[in-house]
Amino acid sequence: MTTSEQSSSVSESEDSVDSNPIQKPDQQDPEVILNKISPFFKVEKTKYGGRGCYAYTTIPKDTLILACNQSISSTIVRPFKKECCHYCYDYFDGKILKFKISKKFGKDLCSIFFCSEICQQKFIEEDTNEVYQESLLLIEKHALTGSNKPEVEKREPLKDEDLSLLISQEWEDVLKWEKSLQSMKPSKRANMIPRIDDSEYLEIKYVVGVLFQMYKVQTENIQSTNTFLHEVNSSNELKQREIELFDILQSSELEKVLKFPYLIYSYINIYKFIKATSLPELQPFINPQAVREIIGRNLTNAFGIWSETSSTTEDREFFGFGVYPSASYFNHSCDPNLIKKRIKNTLEFVTKRDILPGEEICIDYGRFLDEDVEARRKELKEWFFDCGCEKCNIDLENLKI
């Protein structure tokens, strides 16, 4: 536990602006990376667009085809941060967790909460040079700084504005902001930290988690082997493999901003907060393009972390989300043949029925399978796609009759 005083986290080193490509270890062929996720399926193009997972051979019902025990990054909503374990997401009926890593910043005590000493210890072991721990504590500190600032009304783009132009202009302005940030004394940079709301706080913790993994892989020079994921027994290599899979995930940041233009300002806030507050170790990884892609990858690939319920009709609490790249290639089907189970921080995927060779393996993205085809499609539209599953095709044909 650390209790040292820290005035400002802002980097004193020369930060780069937009010319800081992330140096990645030797990049592997995406096809090779994708086809080493599981011996049960290959990842191929679907006939309705994008990629999907297809069975190599017959897979009997109740077969565990994938278990992902490491998200690349996860984040817990502010209201549950003291009740939901940062490491394993366990929750004990609203009880405040006893184990924590804390640091005092002036009068403010900031903490990361865990359900047990084991989870706290695992978190510490997986950290590198305490960069992740420090980064999360700094987010807590600066989220407090930000919340003391007056609320700024977020600008809404005008109806007839050229959105693509607006988006590129706004991000260009961010680069100017970044130059003035870097010309400031570190002690003054706290003034540049924007006020953030709860959804931005959630997203910032996720983005910083991914940035930390990039730093870790580069610092520890972690190399990956060419085995299937379940054969990998080093957690460092697993993370490296998840990063490789993360890099080839779909990103839909621009699509989302074009649909909900007010989000540009939210994403810029997130970026400014991260750039102005992150440790020097993470700075080389922070540029608008990288952060926009990290945000965009969560939008269509994150798995929600929800409280457990005994039935699908019972209300659930939303604790946060995690991105598990190796599990992100399953498409949605309104008649899924795979069930997803979360056991603490592990996602398990088990077949619901026998699967035939060449059959697409799909999960259910929502909780709306009992609804009619139009209602299902409306729900999925919010996730930026028109469902191309077989059940929808049949149901749509039947509507025409």
Ligand X SMILES: C[S@@+](CC[C@H](N)C(=O)[O-])C[C@H]1O[C@@H](n2cnc3c(N)ncnc32)[C@H](O)[C@@H]1O
Footprint of ligand X (CB under 6 A): 48, 50-52, 249-250, 300-301, 328-329, 331-333, 383-385, 387-389
Of the pair 286, 387, the CB lying nearest ligand X is at 387
Of the pair 104, 340, the CB lying nearest ligand X is at 340
Of the pair 300, 337, the CB lying nearest ligand X is at 300
Q: Among residues 168, 218, 139, 232, which one has the least CA distance to residue 18?
A: 168
Do the strands 99-105 and 338-343 form a parallel or antiparallel pair, or are they unpaired? unpaired
Of the pair 212, 385, the CB lying nearest ligand X is at 385
Smallest distance, Å, CB 37 to ligand X? 12
d(CA 134, CA 145): 16
Of the pair 320, 325, the CB lying nearest ligand X is at 325
Contact between residue 210 and residue 73 where contact means Cβ atoms under 8 Å apart: yes
Question: Residue 395: helix, strand or coil by DSSP?
Answer: helix
Of the pair 157, 388, the CB lying nearest ligand X is at 388
Instruction: Output the CA–CA distances (angstroms, integers) from residue 22 to 216, 287, 327, in the order listed.
Output: 12, 9, 24
Instruction: Output the CA–CA distances (angstroms, integers) from residue 13 to 79, 156, 186, 243, in the order listed.
Output: 34, 35, 10, 26
Of the pair 97, 363, the CB lying nearest ligand X is at 363
* DSSP codes, 262-322: THHHHHHHHHHHHHHHS-TTTGGG--HHHHHHHHHHHHHH-EEEE---SSTTS---EEEEE
Q: Among residues 79, 389, 352, 78, which one has the least CA distance to residue 205?
A: 78
Smallest distance, Å, CB 51 to ligand X? 3
Q: How distant is the alpha carbon of residue 321 from its chain centre?
A: 7
d(CA 287, CA 267): 12
Number of Cβ within 10 Å of residue 273's Cβ equals 26
Smallest distance, Å, CB 109 to ligand X? 38
Of the pair 146, 336, the CB lying nearest ligand X is at 336
Q: Among residues 212, 198, 201, 224, which one has the least CA distance to residue 72?
A: 212
Of the pair 252, 269, the CB lying nearest ligand X is at 252
Smallest distance, Å, CB 333 to ligand X? 6
Smallest distance, Å, CB 285 to ligand X? 23
Question: Residue 200: helix, strand or coil by DSSP?
Answer: helix
Smallest distance, Å, CB 360 to ligand X? 9
Contact between residue 253 and residue 112 where contact means Cβ atoms under 8 Å apart: no
Number of residues that make up the chain: 401
Do the strands 51-55 and 360-363 form a parallel or antiparallel pair, or are they unpaired? antiparallel
Question: Residue 100: helix, strand or coil by DSSP?
Answer: strand
Smallest distance, Å, CB 45 to ligand X? 8
Of the pair 48, 228, the CB lying nearest ligand X is at 48
Smallest distance, Å, CB 64 to ligand X? 20
Residue 76, H or E segment: strand 73-76
Smallest distance, Å, CB 332 to ligand X? 4
Smallest distance, Å, CB 247 to ligand X? 12
Do the strands 346-351 and 64-68 form a parallel or antiparallel pair, or are they unpaired? antiparallel
